[in-house]
């Protein structure tokens, strides 16, 4: 066994968590530069931090049964309930089997039609922003991916409910991240109304979803959306179906995981491509095969655009980190990992690790040429996780991002403002410090 290097920045125990909260990505980069690909740090509690692919392979695949979800994921339980992101063990496996059919290729092709229709409408609406000064791209991407998530989940939803959901999703994320990163603020959050507002927001979400479930059961209708699939799913062994609470948990999980990650990935891609004219020209050339939005078959004929999306998810992975807690004593790559140790796996740093990527900070879609992908070690690139718990909606997300990106680049040009700096400040997903704003021409 060999000792895990410790990253210490001060003899004062509170300094590390304060610096981590202020700038997590810079803080972690300092740790890796100082200690190598794996180190330990105390942030109110001790974490083992890694960007070593072997750690990811051990924790997520080879010995995944020796780990459970970390506390940073459990903070989402009030919102996601016992959905796939949160649940463990036999219950998780049963739910995974029930939900899996929603993302089979045939179903994705059906949902793609809805994606294309909504995207075409979105493009027309975006015309109003052409040449009108800096536009909040984050908000625009959140709008279209939310529309797609809600439409494919529930069918129709009124505009007022959608706008309220958009506001509350952002507010809820900020609230949950604050509770984890700044536990010293918990008493103040109970006093200043943040706790109360979170409970009000959650009550709105719950009522909305339970109303949809009840109305669908009463209507006798069976539209082609994900809610209906959840209602119809049956356990192959027992014939049991999900109750309303389980359907609620999976529906909210699909929405929460299925729109903000895509929106965030698209926002970073547009910001990056605003400074990459040669890449944009190649996307436009490839997009000549469609008029407004690509069909499913046309999307399959656009490999370079797919490479651009995958490279965007490398440099700017929305799911920027994963945490697990060890349930038994074990060793990983010669390091002793004791029971209840928290393992913090930085996907962001894995994707920028100079030991496994050539010129890792340069945006290069060539990283995803087929021959390079075939020869790349599986655990060097994990935008959707890996192992049994790999993101169930990864193909939905890739398809959605490629569709929206190609349609946007075909129709519009995006330009940065040199006077408007953009930095990264991760929350649950990899957000920007002050929003991503671009000129649309």
Residue 12 has pLDDT above 70, yes or no: no
Per-residue pLDDT reduced to its tens digit, 316-342: 999 999 999 999 999 999 999 999 999
The pLDDT value recorded for residue 279 is 98
Mean pLDDT of 156-164: 67
Residue 122 has pLDDT above 70, yes or no: yes
pLDDT tier at 109, thresholds 50, 70, 90: confident
Residue 146 has pLDDT above 90, yes or no: no
The pLDDT value recorded for residue 241 is 87
Per-residue pLDDT reduced to its tens digit, 209-255: 898 889 888 888 888 888 888 888 888 778 888 899 999 888 888 88
Residue 91 has pLDDT above 70, yes or no: yes
Residue 11 has pLDDT above 70, yes or no: no
Domain annotation for the chain: domains and CATH numbers: 51-440 (1.10.630.10)
Mean pLDDT of 430-436: 90
Pairwise CA distance, residues 353 & 230, whole Å: 40
Question: For residue 425, what are the contacts with CB-CB under 8 A and spacing of at least 6?
Answer: 23, 24, 25, 431, 432, 433
Q: How many angstroms separate the Cα of 441 from the Cα of each of 46, 385, 393, 403, 438?
A: 49, 36, 32, 20, 10
* Mean pLDDT of the chain, nearest integer: 89
**Cβ pair 29, 430 in contact under 8 A:** no
| More reliable by pLDDT, 159 or 418 | 418
Residue 192 has pLDDT above 70, yes or no: yes
Mean pLDDT of 396-402: 95
Label residue 203 exposed, middle or buried (CB < 10 Å: 0-12, 13-18, 19+): exposed
Q: Tell me which DSSP letter residue 59 carries.
A: I
Alpha-helix residue ranges (DSSP H) falling in 316-386 = 347-350, 370-375
Radius of gyration of the chain (CA): 22
Residue 20 has pLDDT above 90, yes or no: no
pLDDT tier at 158, thresholds 50, 70, 90: low
**Tokens representing residue 441 in the block:** 């021409």
Residue 307 has pLDDT above 70, yes or no: yes
The pLDDT value recorded for residue 365 is 98
The pLDDT value recorded for residue 14 is 67
Alpha-helix residue ranges (DSSP H) falling in 155-295 = 159-181, 186-191, 194-219, 226-232, 244-273, 277-286
């Amino acid at each position: 066994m060999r000792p895990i290097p410790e990253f210490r920045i001060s003899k004062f125990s509170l300094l590390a968590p304060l610096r981590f909260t202020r700038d997590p990505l810079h803080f972690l980069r300092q740790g890796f530069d100082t200690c190598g690909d794996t180190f330990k740090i105390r942030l109110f509690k001790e974490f083992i931090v890694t960007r070593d692919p072997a750690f990811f392979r051990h924790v997520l695949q080879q010995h995944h049964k020796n780990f459970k979800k970390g506390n940073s994921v459990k903070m989402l339980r009030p919102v996601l309930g016992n959905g796939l992101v949160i649940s463990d063990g036999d219950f998780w496996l049963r739910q995974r089997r029930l939900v899996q059919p929603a993302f089979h290729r045939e179903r994705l092709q059906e949902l793609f039609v809805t994606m294309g229709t909504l995207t075409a409408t979105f493009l027309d609406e975006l015309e109003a922003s052409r040449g009108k000064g800096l536009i909040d791209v984050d908000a625009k991407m959140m709008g279209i991916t939310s529309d797609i998530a809600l439409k494919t989940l529930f069918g129709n939803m009124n505009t007022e409910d959608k706008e309220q959901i958009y506001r509350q999703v952002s507010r809820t994320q900020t609230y949950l991240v604050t509770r984890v990163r700044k536990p010293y603020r918990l008493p103040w959050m109970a006093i200043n109304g943040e706790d109360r507002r979170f409970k009000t927001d959650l009550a709105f979400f719950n009522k909305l979803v339970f109303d949809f479930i009840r109305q669908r059961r009463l209507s006798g209708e069976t539209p082609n959306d994900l809610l209906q699939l959840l209602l119809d799913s049956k356990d192959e062994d027992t014939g049991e179906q999900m109750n309303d609470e389980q359907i609620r948990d999976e529906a909210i999980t699909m929405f929460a995981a299925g729109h903000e990650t895509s929106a965030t990935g698209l926002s970073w891609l547009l910001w990056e491509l605003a400074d990459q004219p040669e890449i944009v020209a190649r996307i436009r050339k490839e997009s000549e095969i469609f008029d407004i939005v690509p069909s499913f078959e046309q999307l399959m004929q656009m490999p370079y655009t797919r490479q651009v999306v995958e490279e965007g998810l490398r440099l700017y992975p929305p799911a920027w980190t994963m945490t697990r807690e060890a349930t038994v004593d074990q060793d990983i790559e010669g390091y002793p990992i004791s029971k209840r140790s928290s393992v913090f796996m930085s996907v962001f740093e894995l994707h920028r690790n100079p030991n496994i990527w050539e010129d890792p900070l340069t945006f290069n879609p060539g990283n995803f040429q087929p021959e390079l992908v075939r020869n790349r070690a599986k655990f060097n690139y994990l935008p959707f996780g890996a192992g049994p718990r790999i993101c169930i909606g990864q193909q939905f997300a890739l398809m959605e991002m490629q569709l929206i990106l190609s349609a946007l680049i075909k129709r519009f040009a995006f330009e940065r403002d040199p006077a408007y700096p953009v930095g990264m400040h991760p929350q649950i997903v990899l957000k920007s410090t002050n929003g991503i704003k671009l000129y649309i021409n």
